[in-house]
Amino acid sequence: DAGVIQSPRHEVTEMGQEVTLRCKPISGHDYLFWYRQTMMRGLELLIYFNNNVPIDDSGMPEDRFSAKMPNASFSTLKIQPSEPRDSAVYFCASRKGGSDYEQYFGPGTRLTVT
Partner 1 sequence: AQSVTQLDSQVPVFEEAPVELRCNYSSSVSVYLFWYVQYPNQGLQLLLKYLSGSTLVKGINGFEAEFNKSQTSFHLRKPSVHISDTAEYFCARAAGNKLTFGGGTRVLVKP
Q: Kindly list the residues in this chain that would bind partner 1 in the complex (CB under 8 A).
A: 4, 31, 33, 42-43, 45, 48, 50, 55-56, 91, 93, 99-108
**What is the rounded distance in angstroms from the CA atom of residue 91 to the CA atom of residue 35?**
5
- Least CB distance to partner 1 at residue 89 (A): 9
- Least CB distance to partner 1 at residue 6 (A): 8
CB closer to partner 1 out of 19 and 95: 95
- Least Cα distance to 72 among 90, 55, 92, 49 occurs for 49
- Least CB distance to partner 1 at residue 81 (A): 27
CB closer to partner 1 out of 5 and 81: 5
CB closer to partner 1 out of 45 and 72: 45
Amino acid at 51: N
